[in-house]
């Protein structure tokens, strides 16, 4: 069976003092820097001399346009071929680990993304434009394993899952399983159709629609957390982006065997709005039981 190709790159940014990044979603601070660095790398690439081709590549990576070409989506923001997430690795915040996950055809362009990240470090990060020392830590293709499902599933939302929508509603205080699964399935299918053009993901639209409907039978309970209010204001445009969304742990109970084809990608694919730059980062774990104080049923 075909798998979505994923390559995971890790870098360490270090600075003599505190690296100032967004307090809730640190990698959202890199959004503008990433776009600018990407444009610089493309413009200086001798293999792409035509400006129109440079613009096309920039848009395909940073801001793919909906309803163009063979694939169209109901989503305003199409899935990009990468996501960023990261964390401070020192208590004094003088070191930051950046993780870049590449999807599909983007996995063949590791050196290109290396140059983009190097350019960001050289230009300086955060509001103070701190020029950082950069160390590439690792690079590996991800072997996406399918863990055997158990009766309970616990999902930790490490960063706000911004504007997660289903049936016209936005879910912030808790995330029912059918909402989580619907948006995850959409994201995986979109990544496949956009960046695995020569490969076919198993399951047609009818199959996925049936799974989404069945997912309403999975019980859910909020174990911890709730609405996390956050925003980011662009230093260049002054535009404010509201990142509000659920942050915490959700517990789910039921038969997950028919959802594993998609659930296995959850730890690698961020969900919700602004997912490319760190929102909606999740971890998951199947469990035999959940303690009495956090019981679902």
Which secondary-structure segment (H or E) carries 157? strand 152-162
Q: Is 86 helix (H, G, I), strand (E, B) or coil?
A: strand
Reported as a single tens digit per residue, the pLDDT across 141-165 is 999 999 999 999 999 999 999 999 9
Structure tokens at 67: 């309803």
Distance, CA of 83 to CA of 274 (rounded, Å): 10
241: exposed, middle or buried (C-beta count within 10 Å: 0-12, 13-18, 19+)?
middle
Reported as a single tens digit per residue, the pLDDT across 179-218 is 999 999 999 999 998 999 766 666 678 889 999 999 999 9
Sequence ranges of the domains in the chain: 6-141, 152-294
Structure tokens at 216: 């309403």
Q: What is the pLDDT of residue 73?
A: 58
What separation in angstroms does the CA of 72 have from each of 167, 180, 190, 194? 20, 22, 9, 10
Do the beta carbons of residue 30 and residue 20 sit within 8 Å?
no
Helix axis angle for 30-43 and 110-123, nearest 10°, is: 120
Q: What is the pLDDT of residue 197?
A: 76
Distance of CA 70 to the CA centre of its chain: 24
* pTM score: 0.91
Q: What is the pLDDT of residue 292?
A: 44
Distance, CA of 141 to CA of 24 (rounded, Å): 28
* Residues of the chain predicted below pLDDT 70: 1-2, 46, 66-77, 198-203, 291-297
141: exposed, middle or buried (C-beta count within 10 Å: 0-12, 13-18, 19+)?
exposed
Distance, CA of 186 to CA of 179 (rounded, Å): 11
| CATH class name, domain 152-294 | alpha beta
**Residue 167 contacts by C-beta under 8 Å, 6 or more apart in sequence?**
none
**Residue 150 contacts by C-beta under 8 Å, 6 or more apart in sequence?**
256, 286, 287, 288
Instruction: State the DSSP string of 202-229.
Output: S--HHHHHHHHHHGGGSEEEEEEEEEE-
Q: What is the pLDDT of residue 201?
A: 67
């Amino acid at each position: 069976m075909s798998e979505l190709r994923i390559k995971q790159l890790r870098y360490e940014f270090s600075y003599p003092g505190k690296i100032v990044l967004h307090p809730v979603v640190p990698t959202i601070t890199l959004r503008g820097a990433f776009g600018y660095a990407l444009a610089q790398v493309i413009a200086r690439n001798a293999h792409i001399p035509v400006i129109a081709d440079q613009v096309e590549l920039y848009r395909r990576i940073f801001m793919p346009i909906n309803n163009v070409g063979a694939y169209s989506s109901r989503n305003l923001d199409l899935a990009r071929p990468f996501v960023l997430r990261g964390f401070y690795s020192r208590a004094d915040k003088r070191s930051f680990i950046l993780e870049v996950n590449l999807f599909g055809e983007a996995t063949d362009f590791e050196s290109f993304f290396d140059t983009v990240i190097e350019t960001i470090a050289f230009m300086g990060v955060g509001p103070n434009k701190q020029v950082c020392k950069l160390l590439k830590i690792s690079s590996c293709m991800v072997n996406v394993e399918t863990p055997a499902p158990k009766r309970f599933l616990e999902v930790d939302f490490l960063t706000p899952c911004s504007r997660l929508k289903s049936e016209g509603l936005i879910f912030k205080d808790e995330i029912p399983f059918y909402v989580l699964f619907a948006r995850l399935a959409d994201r995986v299918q979109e990544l496949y159709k956009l960046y695995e053009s020569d490969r076919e993901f198993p399951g047609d639209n009818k199959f996925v629609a049936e799974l989404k409907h069945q997912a309403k039978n999975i019980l859910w309970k909020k174990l911890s957390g709730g609405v996390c209010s956050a925003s980011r204001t662009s230093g260049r445009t002054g535009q404010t982006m509201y990142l509000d969304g659920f942050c915490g742990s959700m517990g789910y109970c039921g038969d997950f065997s028919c959802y594993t084809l998609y659930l296995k990608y959850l730890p690698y694919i961020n969900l919700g709005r602004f997912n490319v730059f760190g929102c909606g980062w999740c971890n998951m774990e199947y469990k035999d039981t959940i303690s009495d104080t956090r019981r679902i049923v």
